[in-house]
């Protein structure tokens, strides 16, 4: 098995992005699966172009993107991506789309094809705070998740894909009072545990566990 894992470059005035910092530190092989790592730009559409080119090059079985979600306490596999760009801040090329469809011929939403409940379960077994997220936002993170699932739907039906958000790391919150963070070592451990669940459940249905929220 081959898993392509991407992480974004820094954005929004940050000097570091824990997503790619964690991706870089993942082992090259997990449970026998080859792990291919890459950085992608925090830029609408360009991120998808760069990622899809890599998909063509390495032909992975799984496409997984990692992004930063400042303000969250744990690692959060995303359940759904919606077909809209509505940027609260500009991307790294100063683009700020408002209420624009990502794909005119795409559905309103795509659901992750990864075993997100098994992933959360495995992360918690590794003593890493984790939960399912039901909103990936409307910035480049939601954008790339939607794009991943769109290209799988249209061109690569045998592949699976999805997205995981991770918190700030401590150095990012020194001047951000009351903002949660997670040590980079723990983020890496959580991602590795989630990837193990992807490998274990590959070709199988997700586990049936409570993962919803009230609001």
Considering the domain boundaries, does residue 149 fall inside one? Answer: yes
Considering the domain boundaries, does residue 83 fall inside one? Answer: yes
Nearest C-alpha neighbor of 68 from the set 24, 9, 27:
9
Return the CATH number at 69: 3.40.630.20
Containing domain of residue 162, as a range?
2-200
Considering the domain boundaries, does residue 119 fall inside one? Answer: yes
Residue 178 in tokens: 């009351």
Q: How far apart are CA 43 and CA 90, in angstroms?
A: 9
Considering the domain boundaries, does residue 213 fall inside one? Answer: no
Domain count, the chain: 1
Edge-to-edge strand order for the sheet containing 33-40?
29-30, 33-40, 2-8, 62-68, 160-166, 76-77
Q: Is the pLDDT of residue 214 over 80?
A: no
Burial of 41 (0-12, 13-18, 19+ CB in 10 A): middle
Residues near 189 by beta carbon (within 8 Å), at least 6 away in sequence: 126, 128
The number of CA neighbours under 13 Å toward the Cβ of 11 is 28
Least confident range from 82-86, 113-117, 204-208: namely: 204-208
Q: Is the pLDDT of residue 209 over 90?
A: no
Considering the domain boundaries, does residue 35 fall inside one? Answer: yes
Q: How far apart are CA 196 and CA 129, in angstroms?
A: 16
pLDDT band at 173 (very low <50, low <70, confident <90, very high): very high
Q: Is the pLDDT of residue 144 over 90?
A: yes
Considering the domain boundaries, does residue 75 fall inside one? Answer: yes
Task: State pTM to two decimals.
Answer: 0.96
Residues acting as catalytic residues = 78, 141, 165
């Amino acid at each position: 098995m081959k898993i392509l894992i991407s992480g974004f470059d820094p954005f929004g005035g940050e000097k570091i992005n824990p997503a790619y910092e964690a991706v870089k530190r993942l082992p090259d092989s997990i449970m026998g699966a080859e792990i291919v790592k890459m950085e992608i730009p925090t830029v609408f559409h360009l991120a998808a172009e760069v990622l899809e080119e890599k998909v063509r090059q390495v032909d992975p079985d799984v496409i997984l993107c990692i992004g930063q979600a400042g303000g969250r306490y744990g690692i959060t596999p995303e359940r759904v991506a919606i077909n809209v760009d509505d940027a609260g801040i500009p991307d790294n090329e100063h683009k700020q789309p408002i209420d624009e469809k990502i794909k005119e011929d795409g559905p309103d939403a795509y659901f992750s094809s990864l075993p997100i409940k098994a992933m959360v379960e495995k992360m918690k077994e590794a003593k890493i705070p984790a939960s399912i997220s039901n909103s990936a936002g409307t910035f480049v993170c939601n954008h790339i998740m939607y794009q991943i699932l769109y290209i799988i739907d249209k061109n690569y039906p045998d592949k699976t894909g999805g997205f995981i958000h991770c918190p700030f790391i401590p150095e990012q919150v020194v001047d951000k009072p009351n903002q949660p963070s997670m040590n980079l070592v723990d983020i890496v451990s959580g991602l590795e545990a989630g990837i193990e669940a992807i490998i274990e459940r590959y070709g199988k249905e997700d586990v049936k566990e409570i993962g919803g929220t009230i609001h």
